[in-house]
Amino acid sequence: MIAAWWQQQSARDRRVLVIGGIIVAIFLVWSFIWHPLASEQARLSHQLDNARRDLAFVRVAEAEVERLRNAGVRSRADRQGKSLLALADVSARGAGLEGVLKRLEPVGSNSVRASFEFASFDVLMSWIEGMARDHGVQITDFSADRVDASGLVNARVTLEDVP
């Protein structure tokens, strides 16, 4: 049936149909195969560039973390033989928290819990940051309740030696 129809067409019409069929086939290959593959390749290339950029950032951050971790280890060595309990007591008093430090107790072999009443929040945060930065101490628990006076808190802080 199709062969008979084809034979009925003139040579010029057959040529136009063949050329049209080739153009349609090329368009279909482009739209259903080439274009989707090229688009996906471009998307994956962009995603790969982003992943490489993220990896470079993580490697730089890893080096910084290692540097800071080593600085903390050196800081622990500079304690002059003080235990974490003694270090917390001396440093809190040196930071101006001597009047508000109400209790300092060991929690385990390498942890200390400090309780403060009516402490200046800013001074307390500065002391905590100094303990972490200068002595390689990790803060494992912190809770604070605001009191009526502006900027003052009742706080509990658990400090731990990082092995």
Dump pLDDT digits (tens) for 57-113: 999 999 988 887 776 555 555 566 678 888 888 888 888 988 899 999 998 888 999
What pLDDT is recorded for position 125? 93
The pLDDT of residue 5 is above 70:
yes
Alpha-carbon 114 to chain mean position: 29
Give pairs for 127-131: CB < 8 Å, separation 24+: 127/91, 127/92, 127/95, 127/97, 128/157, 130/91, 130/95, 131/87, 131/88, 131/91, 131/159
User: Parallel, antiparallel, or unpaired: how do β-strands 101-106 and 137-146 relate?
Assistant: unpaired
Q: Taking a C-beta distance cutoff of 8 angstroms, is the pair 101, 88 a contact?
A: no
What pLDDT is recorded for position 75? 56
Q: Which of 139, 131, 125 is nearest to 89 (CA)?
A: 131
- When comparing pLDDT for 163 and 92, which is higher? 92
What pLDDT is recorded for position 72? 57
Among 22-26, 64-68, 114-118, 121-125, which is the least confidently predicted range?
64-68
What pLDDT is recorded for position 12? 93
Tell me the mean pLDDT in the region 145-151. Answer: 85
Tell me the mean pLDDT in the region 138-163. Answer: 88
The pLDDT of residue 163 is above 70:
no
Tens of pLDDT, residue by residue over 10-49, are 999 989 999 999 999 999 999 999 899 999 999 999 999 9
Mapped onto helix, strand or coil, the DSSP state of residue 147 is: coil
Q: Taking a C-beta distance cutoff of 8 angstroms, is the pair 92, 98 a contact?
A: yes
